[in-house]
Structure 1
């Protein structure tokens, strides 16, 4: 058990998923009080059973709806501005580009980009008034690696990294840091059926030839939100094993020989 976040309020979206549960566990182990949200109330309640009693509040919310976002902003700022916001909720459906419907595109961008935008305005604004805070947007190497069956997702993460820099500029003078962290791929991290061989392909592309774990990712997020990273803002930290690097595999092979 650590104390880096003792007495601090941490808000995590998408808290019922693989990464969300690991983030909640990591911050709870460091003494934080958590406000956890997810669109799936049953999964959120189930995930919370692994946390210490009394350290969390659950608020199921569908982030495609403005009233749900408004309620989350209000709850997060009740009793004082949060110290940390982690925009972790995200949709990653596998959809052929030419078959994506406007409704599907709007839903993906709504959760992955629009909701973080509104939460950074609302919760980030409260942090700015308090003169402190750290925001992490969970993005992806898909922001710069084109994947034909995940274009809306990649576009949403590219936009979110742009917003990260914009909000870092806006909120920095008020003591609020804003960064993006790209996780690696964790099997079970997407609530969709993975194409055959997808995990093996991601593993092969990693320079470390392995997949990172959700707990490792949670450790990176906790660090960048901590006082140890007090002067890091407006950056994108990739924790995915180097798979995002644009390269020819032959060059990498020669480098290792």
Structure 2
């Protein structure tokens, strides 16, 4: 299981949920993983988990709302072959209750930070003639909702950027794709799931909430060479939206 041996991956938001599952799976496949997060304790736990499975990892703390900290993260990561832009923030506020500061923070963490990381790291990938970038978006990017509007806007921007970056860097050997998860059971989503039992699961054909490893499986496919002909695509991993099907 060493398809990614010799490659280095940076995973943002890798101390919990989808990001943690992605980091562990990448390491299991042979990649050396740069684990990003804000909490050194949780970062150390992920590194210990990876090393306990025979993998290699190190932790770098950074606040993605701070552009200078994003630049420091990119420098600390060094030459990476794989970038997974997973970190994000979400608040279930309607537009009247979303302050300018709230809106700016959503854009800073969910959109600007990935933009800066790609700007810093993709040129190196292009120079080496190989690289894979995966942006974790959300079904909120394409499904209208009365709350979480700033979040949806920030993720919609990421889907356009995914296609733009695929065009910008694809000829140099860098593939850029996205994964759009539906409801997934994570530490962040547990309060919402508890408050609306059955509602989120009932929104998809599978009739259940997704698990982080199910999203990580898709990310793994998109960064490995077996997906070498896939570029500029956002893969839906949402159990099948009922509203998207006729009848």
TM-score by length of 2: 0.93
**How well do the aligned residues superpose, as a CA RMSD in angstroms?**
1.8
Partner of 2:237: 239
Q: In 2, are the aligned partners of 1:204 and 1:210 still within 8 Å (CA)?
A: yes
**1:16 and 2:47 are equivalent in the alignment:** no
Q: In 2, are the aligned partners of 1:202 and 1:243 still within 8 Å (CA)?
A: no
SS at match of 2:61: coil
Partner of 1:255: none
- Cα displacement string for residues 54-96 of structure 1 (whole angstroms, at most 9, x for unaligned residues): 601100000111221111111222xxx3111000000011112
Superposition misfits of 4+ residues, deviation over 6 angstroms: none
Separation (CA, whole Å) in 2 of partners of 1:196 and 1:76: 37
Equivalent residues, number: 245
Separation (CA, whole Å) in 1 of partners of 2:56 and 2:240: 35
Partner of 2:119: 121
Q: In 1, are the aligned partners of 2:10 and 2:34 still within 8 Å (CA)?
A: yes
Structure 1, unaligned runs of 5 or more:
252-257
Which residue of 206, 209, 212 maps to 2:210? 212
Partner of 2:169: 171
Separation (CA, whole Å) in 2 of partners of 1:98 and 1:195: 24
Change (3 A) 1:199 1:39: farther
Separation (CA, whole Å) in 2 of partners of 1:245 and 1:19: 25
201-210 vs 163-172, greater mean Cα deviation = 201-210
Q: In 2, are the aligned partners of 1:76 and 1:123 still within 8 Å (CA)?
A: no
How far off its partner does 1:211 sit? 2.0
Partner of 1:93: 91
Q: In 1, are the aligned partners of 2:92 and 2:147 still within 8 Å (CA)?
A: yes
Separation (CA, whole Å) in 1 of partners of 2:225 and 2:237: 19
Q: In 1, are the aligned partners of 2:38 and 2:61 still within 8 Å (CA)?
A: yes
Structure 2, unaligned runs of 5 or more:
none
- Cα displacement string for residues 102-141 of structure 1 (whole angstroms, at most 9, x for unaligned residues): 0011001100000001111111111111111000000011
TM-score by length of 1: 0.90
